[in-house]
Structure 1
Amino acid sequence: MAETNLTTQADLVAQSIDFTEQFTQGIQTLLNALGVVRMQSMTSGSQIKIYKSEVTKVDGNVAEGEVIPLSKVTRKLANTLTLSFKKYRKQTTIEAIQSAGGITPAIVDTDNKLMREIQKDVKADLFGYITKADAAKTKAEGADFQKAMAAALGQLAVKWEDYDTQTVAFANPLDLYGWLGNQVINVQSTFGLQYLKNFLGFNTIILTDAVPAGTIAATVADNINYFYAPISSVGALFNMTSDETGLIGVTHDAVNNNLTYETVVTMANVLTTERLDGIVLSSIKAPAASTK
């Protein structure tokens, strides 16, 4: 008869399943909040192209009878990303497991901390492109948080006039709460982020300190893409647990040659935007001081 509380292979698989489900549910909830419906499966090594538009506008003052010179809009490649596997590994010693009081605090709790760090990598891809200053992005400004949001919304309405899509804003929480004062709002959370639904004209507002204070970034759901290489086709070779989507692969193993317990995680995904000119950067400009 097996000893009481013996950790078995079934326990290890259950931990891998739990890790996989938590990550997958988190990313899907985030994409739903953003209004993103496109999850594009690709092979590892595929290239993802980011575009920008350059406009050459000529002088519109044309004399009577003269030929009107051409203005030109060119769609140019701004950047190319490569979809590649990211790999993470964590080991816990037998001493750490024993002193922590068992597998839950030593393994499961530290796995959750590892997951939060992996989530940061996924979000960094998106925030890097959304918030970075770029001449190709559309500019706007407003005298306070609400007016800067309205200016961004107006620019999106022009840029994406022919699209029936959801609007998404990214704002620093200090800017929002500084403007709100004591007003109570309903904030939800997912994937380590706070967000609001249907507020100030936007379908979703993501709150993150990745956005510099004084700036609001905005785009539409049609401009955000989630690319991934399914791990399910190759994960079985390494005894990895995944779900039907294959967004992430996880395995837990005992390493007997040094008496440690190992967590290995891998995934290949990029959450990014397609068009730089489809992003609006709206600045919060304080009104000029009165000279009276």
Structure 2
Amino acid sequence: MATRTFPETNQQDTLNFQALEAKSIDYTSRFGQNFSKFVEALGITRQIPVQDGFTIKLYGAPEVDLADGNVPEGELIPLSKVTPVAVDTKEITLNKYRKVTTMEAIQKYGANEAVNITDDALIKEVQKNIRANLFDTIKGGQAVNNLRVGTLQGALATAWGQLETVFEDDTVRVVAFVNPLDVAQANADKELTLETQFGLNYYTTATGTVVFTSTQIERGTIYATAAENLQVAYIASNSEAYRAFNMTTDQFGYIGMVHDTTAEALVVQTVLASGVEIYPERLDGVIKIAIGEAEVTPEG
């Protein structure tokens, strides 16, 4: 009878589970850094940590009741009144995602490859949902006429001029969102250097307008706003609730993640939670411009 020695070969020890923790740290770190760079590329400077269920108010142009400024010497100056007008609301909610990698997949591809491949796909979908929420909001922008119908350059120039007018008392940086095929057609014979952040390609025009491309934007239309009009609200992932489930968080607090093994099903489980919303503070500061369609009929 062979003599048994300890520890036994291939024994599961803490190093095996430290590898799972390292995966969580790696993914949350990369997600946080990518999202932070995306926010920087957009030019967003305001970020607000909030609680689950927090309601965001989206405003239109404020109503101003301007009192008569012709006041005789020594008399009481009458009050003017500025009333913010909320035209829509958005609720920040905690989104939770879970997926498992089976023992069979690990056996076939190896633990790192099987878990990493599916974790990458999951993270990309979470990023896509954050972008989709932004696009859904900006698609409610007001339509304005293209100064040069039929050209992307005309639409971008119109966006720049229109937003310089809307935010006439502020120095603004214009951000536009365009379908990549519209960009490709407009720049087929020109050299264009694209950069990438958070799954989106972008470039900067001569006016300083930052143009992001996405297939979630329909062809033939661009949407634009001022970077200063965009804000980020997020449920901070360094909260007590995240710690209660031993979730690893990124340094910015955008996302929490945990990996563990479930012996009953012989799977490695990935769980992540995040609540992030990018939104415009003023909806009247978001515009929609058709590249090649007929002019918009003025209201009234």
TM category (shorter chain) comes to 0.7 to 0.9
1:216 maps to which of 222, 235, 254: 222
CA distance in 2, matches of 1:287, 1:181: 24
Per the alignment, residue 59 of structure 1 pairs with none
Deviation of 1:76 (Å): 3.1
Question: RMSD of the alignment, in Å?
Answer: 2.4
CA distance in 2, matches of 1:5, 1:219: 58
- Summarize deviations over 1:90-122 as a string: whole Å, max 9, x none: 01111111012x112210111011000000110
Report which of the two structures shows the higher radius of gyration computed on alpha carbons: 2
1:127 maps to which of 110, 135, 150: 135
- Normalised by the length of structure 2, the TM-score is 0.83
Deviation of 1:74 (Å): 7.3
Q: How does 1:186-265 map to 2 (within 5 A)?
A: 186-197=193-204, 199-233=205-239, 234-265=241-272
Per the alignment, residue 160 of structure 2 pairs with 153
Q: Conserved in 2, the CA contact under 8 Å of 1:41 and 1:230?
A: yes
Q: How many residues align?
A: 268
- Summarize deviations over 1:163-194 as a string: whole Å, max 9, x none: 12321111111111111122121101111110
CA distance in 1, matches of 2:8, 2:223: 58
- Normalised by the length of structure 1, the TM-score is 0.85
CA distance in 2, matches of 1:110, 1:45: 30
Letter in 1 for 2:163: L
Q: Conserved in 1, the CA contact under 8 Å of 2:96 and 2:271?
A: yes
2:188 is the alignment partner of 1:181: yes
Q: Which sections of structure 2, spanning at least 5 residues, go unmatched?
A: 1-6, 64-81, 296-300
CA distance in 2, matches of 1:243, 1:93: 26
1:172 maps to which of 164, 169, 179: 179
Q: How does 1:1-292 map to 2 (within 5 A)?
A: 1=7, 3=9, 8-53=16-61, 75-100=84-109, 102-132=110-140, 134=141, 137-141=142-146, 142-143=148-149, 144-197=151-204, 199-233=205-239, 234-285=241-292
CA distance in 2, matches of 1:13, 1:194: 31
Instruction: Point out 4+ residue stretches in structure 1 off by more than 6 angstroms.
Output: none
Percent identical among aligned pairs is: 33
Q: Which sections of structure 1, spanning at least 5 residues, go unmatched?
A: 56-72
Deviation of 1:81 (Å): 1.2
